[in-house]
């Protein structure tokens, strides 16, 4: 009798979970490529020309965006959906991010450069509270960058994070055995000190990525590598400071950025601004995931990304933890 009850309970739980997962999959597969108006300009309703609004908020990582983070896959899907849309003549990118993983930041940067150089889309960035490190990396792909006076930006640099809990484990008599095939397979292990050879290898990776960061910023900003190097090394700037040092082009918010974008697109008046329509159910589940501390979807995507690729992070060191 007890076994039957247990089996019935397990079946009930599995059924509920299956329905829940199915609902999530159904919601996630609903197309959200439709653009909706967020700011009207002259001619809206009779003239379909306009600009796309792309928001990059929170930590930048690979995969899909969550309620409080920016996933490169989501951003790339939005950008690629307007590549061949002749009615979308410009892109306003609003950035409020401290940075994130290297690969994700590079992907978004390259897609913006492609739109700018190959598809002749005009791109303007509007920085909010913070647009540092990976956030600035992405911003540098724009034709023009606007920052608020109090925006925190810059932090052109790369950091590797490698915690070591060997001493803690030894204190409590905990031993960890590692089985590996490959001399460097457990580089940056939590459980042992790194070797000088491994340190040199990681430093080389950091140097290569740092050089690429600087070169990409120089290319996007139409500056020399030497100019960017003098402002890099992880230095953080206020919006006013960044303007004085030519890391951004002007001080202002969305209004000023959209006005500049309209001018770049030779549009008479203010361009209508369109944003991708978000499925309300998808937004609801993202909110629930954020509020529940990951109950619906595990740990935050950014932390998952760090676990998968724990070496290189475009992130201000003082804000990393």
The tens digit of pLDDT for each residue in 230-277 reads 999 999 999 999 999 999 999 999 999 999 999 999 999 999 999 876
Active site residue 33: no
Q: Supply the pLDDT for residue 8.
A: 64
CATH number for the segment(s) 32-156+234-294: 3.90.226.10
Active site residue 133: yes
Which of the residues 34, 37, 117, 185 is marked catalytic? 185
Specify whether the CB–CB gap between 216 and 102 falls below 8 A: no
Query: Which residues is 90 bridged to in the sheet?
Result: 51, 122
Distances in Å between the Cα of 307 and the Cα atoms of 162, 182, 184, 189 are: 11, 20, 17, 12
Which of the residues 133, 140, 155, 262 is marked catalytic? 133
Across 47-51, 118-122, 194-198, the highest mean pLDDT is recorded for: 118-122
Q: Supply the pLDDT for residue 31.
A: 40
| Nearest residue to 93 (alpha-carbon basis) of 107, 110, 79 | 79
Domain residue spans in the chain?
Answer: 32-156+234-294, 158-232
Residues 26-37 have a mean pLDDT of: 49
Q: Supply the pLDDT for residue 142.
A: 98
């Amino acid at each position: 009798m007890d076994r039957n009850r247990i089996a019935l309970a397990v079946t009930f739980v599995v059924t509920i979970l299956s329905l829940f997962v199915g609902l999530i999959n159904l919601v996630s597969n609903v197309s959200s490529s439709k653009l909706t108006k967020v700011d009207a300009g002259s001619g809206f309703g009779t003239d379909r020309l306009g600009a796309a609004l792309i928001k990059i908020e929170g930590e930048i990582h690979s995969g899909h965006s969550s309620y409080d983070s920016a996933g490169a896959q989501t951003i790339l899907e939005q950008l690629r959906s307007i590549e061949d849309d002749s009615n979308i003549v410009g892109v306003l990118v609003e950035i409020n991010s401290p940075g994130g993983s290297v690969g994700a930041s590079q992907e978004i940067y390259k897609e913006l450069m492609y739109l700018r150089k190959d598809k002749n889309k005009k791109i303007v960035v509007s920085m909010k509270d913070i647009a540092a490190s990976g956030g600035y990396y992405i911003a540098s792909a724009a034709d023009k960058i606007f920052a608020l006076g109090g925006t925190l930006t810059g932090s052109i640099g790369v950091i590797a994070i490698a915690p070591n809990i060997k001493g803690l484990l030894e204190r409590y008599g905990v031993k960890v055995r590692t089985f590996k095939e490959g001399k460097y397979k457990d580089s940056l292990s939590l459980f042992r000190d790194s070797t000088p050879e491994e340190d040199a290898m990681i430093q080389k990776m950091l140097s290569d990525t740092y050089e690429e960061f600087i070169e990409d910023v120089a290319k996007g900003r139409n500056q020399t590598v030497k100019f960017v190097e003098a402002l890099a090394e992880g230095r953080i700037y206020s919006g006013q400071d960044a303007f004085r040092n030519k890391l951004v082009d002007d001080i202002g918010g969305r209004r000023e950025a959209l006005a500049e974008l309209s001018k770049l697109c030779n549009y008479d008046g203010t361009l209508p601004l369109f944003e991708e329509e978000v499925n309300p159910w998808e937004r609801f589940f993202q909110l629930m995931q954020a509020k529940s501390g990951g109950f619906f979807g595990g740990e935050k995507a950014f932390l998952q990304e760090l676990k998968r690729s724990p070496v290189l992070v475009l992130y201000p060191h003082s804000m990393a933890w």
